[in-house]
Amino acid sequence: MRTDDDRPRTPDRRWAGSDFQDPPRTGGGVALCGACHAAGRCRLGVQRERLDDTGNAWFHVTCPRDQEGGPNVAHGGWTAAVMDECLGHVPLLNRTLSVTAELSVSFVKPVPVDRPVQVRAWVDRREGSRWYIAGEMSLLPGGAVLARASGIWVARDPGHFDRHEKWLAQQDSAGSP
């Protein structure tokens, strides 16, 4: 039987007073999502981020050992998640809350675990509320490309998560089909 404790927590209970355009950041400037805020670190291994004055966002990332797939290399899901995270930080670095609508990832080479890599991300173009963002992950040092990604992020107003909670409650009250 479902109890109140099983229900999803609303953003208000955990995110009271949050400014989604300006989320909590680590000492390395890394914007933290909900679970990483609770952990006090980016669990994907993003250690530093910055936006340069040409519009490129730069990230220093190390794949944690617990994301190992094949021997000494990252699980592909980690690579996709990091590209989603880093590319999705570009609107945030421009003080815009957005969510991923589409993401495409090319896995060019296996990504080593426990070794720093770099992600560069940039805005290809903007149309209406859509941000078309691309990026690549490369090995340090040397710059060999390990992965490429591109996708569409849709800008949202701060009511996005509240509206989702209401939508979810409507789904629950509609009952099972």
Ligand X SMILES: CCCCCCCCCCCCCC(=O)SCCNC(=O)CCNC(=O)[C@H](O)C(C)(C)COP(=O)(O)OP(=O)(O)OC[C@H]1O[C@@H](n2cnc3c(N)ncnc32)[C@H](O)[C@@H]1OP(=O)(O)O
Residue 35 interacts with ligand X (CB under 6 A): yes or no: no
Q: Does residue 115 contact residue 137 with C-beta atoms inside 8 Å?
A: no
**Element containing residue 83 per DSSP (H, E):** helix 76-93
Residue 39 interacts with ligand X (CB under 6 A): yes or no: no
Residue 175 interacts with ligand X (CB under 6 A): yes or no: no
Residue entry with tokens 């340090």? 140
Residue from 10, 26, 62, 100 in contact with ligand X (CB under 6 A): 100
Query: Residue 108 has which token pair?
Result: 């060019």
How would DSSP label each residue in 39-67? HTS-TT-EEEEEE-TTS-EEEEEEB-GGG
At closest approach, how far in Å is the CB of 125 from ligand X?
A: 12
Q: Print the binding letters for residues 42-81 with ligand X: x by CB under 6 A, - otherwise.
A: ----------------------------------------
d(CA 65, CA 45): 10
Residue 132 interacts with ligand X (CB under 6 A): yes or no: no
Residue 154 interacts with ligand X (CB under 6 A): yes or no: yes
List residues binding ligand X (CB under 6 A). Answer: 20, 23, 31, 33, 84-85, 88-89, 97, 99-102, 127-130, 152, 154
